[in-house]
Amino acid sequence: MREGSQGQVLTLALLLLVVFLLRKFNDFRRAAQSVNNLPGFRTLFSDRFVWFPYRVKGISPGLQSEVNLYRKHKDFEEAGWDIMSGVNVFPSSEVTLYLADPVVVKEVAGARSRFPKPMGPYKILLAFGPNLVASEGDEWKRQRKLVAPAFSERNNRLVWDETVHIMHDLFDNVWGNRDVVEVSNATELTVPITLMVISVAGFGRRISWNEDAIAPAGHQMTFKNALDLVSHNLFLQLLFPKWMLRWGTPLMRRFAVAQDDLQRYMQEMITARRDADIKEERHDLFSSLLDANEGLAESGEKLSDTGLMGNVFIFMVAGYESSAHTLAYALILLALYPTEQEKFYQSIKKVLADGRTPTYDEFSTLTYSMAVFNETLRLFPPAITIPKQSAEDTSFTTTNAAGEKRTIPVPKGTFVTVHTPGLHNNPKYWEDPDTFKPDRFLRDYPRDAFLPFSGGPRGCIGRGFSETESIAVLTLLIARYRVELAHEPQFAAESFEQRKARLLRSKLSVTLYPTRAPLVFKRR
């Protein structure tokens, strides 16, 4: 009798499993049919399944990891269209459309209400409170109203002047009379530069290259170390509850300490600025944000301290990390392509013939500097995917390399992802897309196929800040020093492509960054 009962239970369990699998199969098939079986990925897990971010055929597309960067436009070429689909089984049968068609991308980026952000991928940016980037709908409008005035022409001028001051401090007081300066990794130079820029132009706190070496009273880490550790390991916030972080691996424990320290730093800045006896006129982002927030008190739209800290955190991460990493990639590429670096240097000499330091009013004349910056962003966009979701039933029309058109249904709820590396390396719009060619941006270029700062109403509000500091850094650095690759005997037999792949190997934190690239700076 017992054996019979066990057999019945087992039979019932198998029957339920079969029913479950059949239902999953039917859901999966219906999902694929909803986009007319558009070619692409067919996997168990979606690219939003954070516990498995790697690419394994049939398991996960891995498009939220750096594999997206390395594949560039290849997945679209294999699919045969500049839009491809991803259909997964778990956690539920969902469809994602990946876009590398600039016409469709422009439509999606420009229609905020039709294609809002899905908030799931942005939870990681809520570590310190609600903010502009991780908001949508009416909350986004409120955040935007508060934050937008801070990013003004006056702030850009401050960014330029302070960046020049920081670079001269580097040249005069850190590198001094040395004709040759070696750095073990490009980011070891660029991270401190952009951190000091955001510190003064973002928060009115000027620091020198020799400061911030010891944690102040009440803190276990310096501001720089806490910010760097938190921004590079934010994924831990998403994967583990806070109590587990405090008792986990050494990295998890350091992250928890850094997170607490950074929160204290931000609260101290808010309190000190709010309680200051003398309210001087300042143009740093933080002061402008506080002033704007106080001005909203009567309307009831004023943010809490948590809301202020959320935006302060975004200022810090977006304001230093993305620029630091883009500058690192730019220096690596200039070292890999010495001919392009020489063109850049000659263009600087032509604009600044007497060797003087450019002013902010001359920003628009530094066209080659901007071209280098843009070409770097084309090859290494900070955000390798820009997620959206369709709020209505609609359709896209795309054209393949043979000129054939295809209309793709887009049911309401479909995830729509701008695939930035695919867009930026689409050979239909970019000649020789794998090669570093800054001067392509000196001519008429396909603007709709270039989206490093997103686009439309949700375009990056800090674009001017990033462009201003980056152009100043690149211009001043290349005017005075030639950047070269460090000689490493163990890699002497490498081909150019092998060396390029090694030095540009990347990881993804909040933004994309190069893992290791030793450089040498030689005085001109």
Inter-residue contact 480 to 523 (CB < 8 Å): yes
Detail the residues annotated as belonging to a binding site for heme. Answer: 460
Inter-residue contact 50 to 237 (CB < 8 Å): no
Helices vs strands, H then E, count in the chain: 20, 12
Inter-residue contact 119 to 74 (CB < 8 Å): no
**DSSP output for 287-326:** HHHHHHHHHTTTTT-PPPHHHHHHHHHHHHIIIIIHHHHH
Which among 205, 195, 201, 192 has a CA at the least distance from the CA of 158?
201
Alpha-carbon distances, residue 498 vs 327, 369, 422 (angstroms): 22, 27, 22
Detail the residues annotated as belonging to a binding site. Answer: 460
Both structure tokens of 111: 């229609």
Phi, psi (deg, nearest 5) at residue 134: -100, 45
Instruction: Compute the distance between CA of residue 147 and CA of residue 503 in angstroms, rounded to an integer.
Output: 37
Both structure tokens of 22: 């059949």
Instruction: Compute the distance between CA of residue 501 and CA of residue 145 in angstroms, rounded to an integer.
Output: 43
Kindly state the helix (H) or strand (E) to which residue 23 belongs, with its residue range: helix 2-34
Alpha-carbon distances, residue 210 vs 125, 153, 214 (angstroms): 31, 30, 10
Residue type, 356: R
Coil, strand or helix at 249? coil
Instruction: Answer left, alpha or beta for residue 470, where phi above 0 means left and psi between -120 and 50 means alpha.
Output: alpha
Which among 319, 337, 288 has a CA at the least distance from the CA of 470?
319
Instruction: Compute the distance between CA of residue 174 and CA of residue 167 in angstroms, rounded to an integer.
Output: 10
Instruction: Compute the distance between CA of residue 52 and CA of residue 60 in angstroms, rounded to an integer.
Output: 7
Inter-residue contact 514 to 504 (CB < 8 Å): yes
